[in-house]
Structure 1
Amino acid sequence: MFRPLIALFSALFLLSACGEVVTESTRDARILLIGDSMMAANRGSGRAVANAIERQLGEEVIDRSVIASRYFYFLPISGAAGLRLPAQYQPGGWDWVVINGGGNDLMFGCGCGFCNTMVDRLVSRDGTSGAIPELVARIRKTGAKVVYSGYLRNPGLYTPVRACKPYGDELDRRLARMAARDDGMIFLPMSDLVPAGDPSLHQEDMIHPSPKGSAAIGARIAAAIRANGG
């Protein structure tokens, strides 16, 4: 009796985490943003990364990022809820698609340990195959340019996911190789954004960006878009 109710409430909870819906009224927007909690953090207060990009560029950004999203997520509801990150993408007249992701696959898919296989599944050593190149290729076929954002680090400070750093660094290197093959893709590292010993760009959990961190990420992304033809 209670199992169907639990399943229903779980589904409603997951669906409530969905990002912004693409409708006819928003199809004039040029910029789509998809990703995980690095992008979605602070959205409730209007200070997420997408909000910062909007302020910097003076135009609308459609934010479909979802907390806890991953590339490899096999719950039945995961696609509809945007928890499977590629499902967040929706076709539109986008000039730019801003993406981040892969960190939750390292954190939850392999526990930040023995993650070499997971990194390979995300993107091959030469940057030509894997879940991330597949998503980017799908988007690039529409003519949209892609900004792929790396993750914040917190140098000189304790972090509960510090074991992920070697794999995160390798993911950055592979994404950079991938971008070097495609003039329409920019890999934008965030590993140097946080000054050593400065906790102000992170929330108290030392994982997610604070409003200040989201603003800094958004400013860097907006600058890259502006520098590459807007």
Structure 2
Amino acid sequence: MAQAQSPRPIRLLMLGDSITAAYGLARPEGLPAKLEAALRARSRAVTVIDAGVSGDTTAGGRARLEWALAERPDAVIVALGGNDGLRGVEPRNSQANLKAILDMLKARNLPTLLAGMLAPPNLGADYGREFAEVFQTLARENPDVVFYPFLLDGVAGDPALNQPDRIHPNPQGVDEMVRRMTPAVETLLSKVRPA
């Protein structure tokens, strides 16, 4: 029996901000490169496409989504919201932008992972609750979307895992992010239909 040809790598688009864009790091140390390496180490044929733009908000991600989709991904990670929180954007506006992004991806039948974000504590408890609820509500309303509740889980607030600005992960922080989120990303990849 002839050996089956190996399938082409899954194209996984990561739509994000400076965390995705490897701010302050060499590209190979950034989240897309390290996530791809971790998935390949698990025998997953995946190419992670870096669609991160430093400083981008949910509105910016929404505005450039069509352009990013020109990369013809098979699945998408949406990792936006951190800059909305830093700028105190109205949570309802962030929610509307993320909903529009998720709706467009659903219309294109693209399996999606939504990575949640938390607001910085200096904006107050009420804002923090409303901001966190944005992601929880979208996860409830989109049961087909894989929900990873907090992109910086295990890394935020730990000086040993962040750059001196205490916002952006250092290489060790990226490693921890990859370790924690890889199972959710594998769930996402399981939703990709073979080409």
Report TM bin, short chain: 0.7 to 0.9
Write the distance in 2 (CA, Å) between the matches of 1:93 and 1:105: 27
Tell me, yes or no, if structure 1 residue 162 matches structure 2 residue 121: yes
Write the distance in 1 (CA, Å) between the matches of 2:70 and 2:156: 40
Write the distance in 2 (CA, Å) between the matches of 1:62 and 1:196: 24
Match of 2:182 among 217, 222, 228: 222
Normalised TM-score (structure 1): 0.64
1:29 and 1:62 in contact (8 A); partners too: no
Tell me by how many angstroms 1:85 deviates: 1.6
Which structure dedicates a bigger proportion of its chain to strand?
2
- Contiguous gaps of at least 5 residues in structure 1: 1-26, 73-83, 124-129, 154-160
Percent pairwise identity: 24
Tell me, yes or no, if structure 1 residue 119 matches structure 2 residue 91: yes
Deviations 1:52-108 (A, max 9, x none): 210121121000101011134xxxxxxxxxxx2220432454332011112212323
1:50 and 1:218 in contact (8 A); partners too: no
Tell me, yes or no, if structure 1 residue 36 matches structure 2 residue 17: yes
Tell me by how many angstroms 1:46 deviates: 0.9
Q: How does 1:54-203 map to 2 (within 5 A)?
A: 54-58=36-40, 59-72=46-59, 84-86=60-62, 87-88=64-65, 89-108=68-87, 112=88, 118-123=90-95, 130-151=96-117, 161-164=120-123, 166=125, 167-190=127-150, 193-194=153-154, 198-203=158-163
Runs of 4+ aligned residues of structure 1 deviating over 4 Å after TM superposition are none
3-state SS, counterpart of residue 204 of structure 1:
coil
Write the distance in 1 (CA, Å) between the matches of 2:74 and 2:167: 30
Normalised TM-score (structure 2): 0.75
* Alignment RMSD: 2.8
3-state SS, counterpart of residue 58 of structure 2:
coil
Write the distance in 1 (CA, Å) between the matches of 2:38 and 2:10: 15
Structure 1 pair 103–196 and aligned structure 2 pair: CA distance change class (3 A): closer
Match of 1:48 among 19, 25, 30: 30
